[in-house]
């Protein structure tokens, strides 16, 4: 087949378009609408995306892998345990490289498997292993769609973080029945994919400074005063802002390998110096780090030896409160966000810190709740604004919380831009 047989999309023909630089996994499951996925694959590629098709074994009964391979100019993946020259399993590599996994058509069978996490073929496994956005375009007979089992499964997926169901259309089915169940049109699916991936560019052009991890205050060459912060929340914040197009600088006590600048520091004073160097040029500072409030007055050059005495006294002095200092000197066009990990009276303490440090937003969490917060990939938080609004986010992945904060930040920065232009 010649790709020119496929109608041109409104996005042009030269591999540039709104999906430039995006990697999309197009999952195709075994329904007659699989033939429309050929057009979809071509449209997404012409919109600029690097499209990798993954077919379920049933899908191959409707369309051949060669068709998709020709249209996408990429190999097509079908086998759960296919031959692969690299050390990393194929499904993990594909899952990690994607910005979005789009399943079109999504059959009742695949939807049922995704709802419970069954991964007995490659597509289901990839979807379970990805942290990308997942969009599903169901296509099936209207009675199958209305079946309580399917409705239940769709409900589960609709509420799953980062999942979106593209509603099926009404019309005549391939089987002759009439009703709702036709896969949404290729135009609708393409538009929804573009707007989902474009929505994530809301921080483009913004300089965002983020801190992560817990500072370490040396006592001697071996020991330090530290805390339980894993840096996961700050790193999730930086990843989320970067994914939205921000120019991110991450100042962290935890080493991470990222494509944006990462400055590794150890102590509160190191962190203060690094943050102050970048602060003037940033649009927003997000202080996720757990900064030690005190440090030893004297750092012993030698390892402190055990003595006969039962007690030892360590004298501490106050560290600078970075957020407090910068909250008081920030410009009107800058936004400052802080975190408050509290063991008691969360709301009151977070509110006081918001005011005292002159923050725009504070995110508070109760560290006494098990399985969230320090070291966990999950958290449950209360978000307070300087304007007095309050929002509770139930237990969810830290990345979901980060995305939520980025949405707020993008809105706030857009409003600040608007008010500057209006002056």
- The contact set with ligand C5P (CB under 6 A) reads 268, 287, 289, 291, 293, 319, 321-323, 338-340, 353
Strand ranges for 261-403 from DSSP E: 262-264, 284-287, 294-296, 316-318, 335-342, 361-366, 378-385, 390-397
- Residue 311: Cβ within 10 Å count: 5
How many Å apart are CA 423 and CA 420, to the nearest integer? 5
Question: Smallest distance, Å, CB 235 to ligand C5P?
Answer: 14
Tokens of residue 167, six digits: 């509603």
Question: Please, which residues bridge with residue 383 across strands?
Answer: 363, 391
Nearest to 210 by CA among 264, 272, 268, 275: 275
DSSP string of 48-76? T-EEEEEE-GGGGGTS-HHHHHHHHSS--
Is residue 29 within 8 A of residue 110, CB to CB? The reply is yes
282 annotated active-site: no
Q: Rounded to whole angstroms, how far apart are CA atoms 153 and 176? A: 25
Dist CA 127 CA 116 (whole Å) = 12
Q: Pick from 164, 206, 215: which is nearest to 189 by CA?
A: 164
Nearer to ligand C5P, 279 or 339 (CB): 339
CB 289 to ligand C5P: min, Å: 5
Q: Which is nearer to ligand C5P, 289 or 413 (CB)?
A: 289
Q: Could you tell me which of 223, 193, 174 has the C-alpha nearest to residue 36?
A: 174
Exactly one of 38, 175, 282, 406 is catalytic; name it: 175
Q: Which helix (H) or strand (E) holds 283?
A: none
Is the preceding peptide bond at 105 cis, omega within 30 degrees of 0? Answer: yes
The span from the CA of 278 to the CA of 261, in Å, is: 12
Distance CA 262, CA 252 (A): 7
Which residues have a Cβ under 8 Å from the Cβ of 179 and sit 6 or more positions away?
142, 143, 145, 170, 173
Q: How far is the CB of 237 from ligand C5P (least distance, A)?
A: 11
Q: Which SS3 state, helix, strand or coil, does residue 219 take?
A: coil
Catalytic positions, written as ranges: 175
């Amino acid at each position: 087949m010649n790709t020119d047989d496929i109608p041109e999309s409104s996005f042009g023909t030269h591999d540039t378009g709104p999906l430039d630089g995006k990697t999309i996994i197009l999952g195709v499951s075994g329904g007659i609408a699989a033939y429309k996925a050929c057009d979809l694959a071509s449209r997404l590629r012409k919109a600029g995306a690097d499209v990798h098709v993954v077919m379920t074994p049933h899908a191959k009964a409707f369309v051949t892998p060669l068709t998709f391979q020709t249209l996408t100019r990429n190999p097509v993946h079908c086998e759960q345990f296919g031959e692969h020259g690299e050390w990393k399993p194929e499904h993990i590599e594909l899952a990690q490289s994607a910005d979005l996994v789009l399943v079109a058509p999504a059959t009742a069978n695949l939807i049922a498997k995704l709802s419970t996490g069954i991964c007995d073929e490659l597509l289901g496994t990839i979807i379970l292993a990805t942290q990308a956005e997942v969009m599903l375009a169901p296509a099936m007979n209207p009675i199958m769609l209305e079946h309580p089992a399917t409705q239940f499964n769709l409900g589960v997926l609709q509420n799953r973080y980062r999942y979106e169901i593209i509603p099926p259309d009404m019309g005549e089915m391939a089987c002759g029945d009439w009703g709702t169940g036709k896969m949404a049109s290729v135009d609708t699916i393409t538009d929804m994919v573009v707007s989902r991936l474009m929505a994530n560019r809301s921080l483009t052009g913004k300089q965002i400074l983020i801190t992560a991890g817990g500072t370490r205050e040396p006592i001697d060459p071996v020991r330090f005063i530290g805390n339980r912060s894993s840096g996961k929340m700050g790193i999730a914040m930086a990843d989320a802002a970067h994914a939205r197009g921000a120019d991110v600088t991450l100042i962290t006590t935890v080493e991470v390998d990222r494509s944006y600048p990462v400055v590794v520091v150890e102590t509160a004073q190191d962190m203060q110096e690094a943050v102050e160097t970048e602060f003037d040029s940033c649009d927003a500072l997000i202080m996720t780090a757990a900064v030690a409030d005190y440090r030893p007055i004297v750092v012993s050059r030698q390892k402190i030896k055990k003595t006969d005495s039962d007690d030892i006294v360590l004298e501490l002095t106050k560290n600078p409160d970075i957020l407090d200092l910068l909250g008081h000197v920030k410009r009107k066009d800058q936004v400052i966000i802080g975190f408050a990990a509290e063991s008691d009276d969360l709301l009151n303490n977070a509110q006081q810190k918001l005011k005292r440090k002159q923050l725009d937003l504070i995110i508070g969490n109760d560290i006494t709740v098990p399985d969230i917060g320090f070291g966990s990939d999950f958290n449950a938080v209360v978000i307070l604004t300087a304007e007095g609004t309050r929002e509770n986010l139930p237990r969810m992945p830290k990345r979901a919380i980060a995305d939520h904060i980025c949405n707020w930040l993008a809105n706030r920065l857009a409003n600040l831009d608007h008010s500057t232009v209006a002056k």
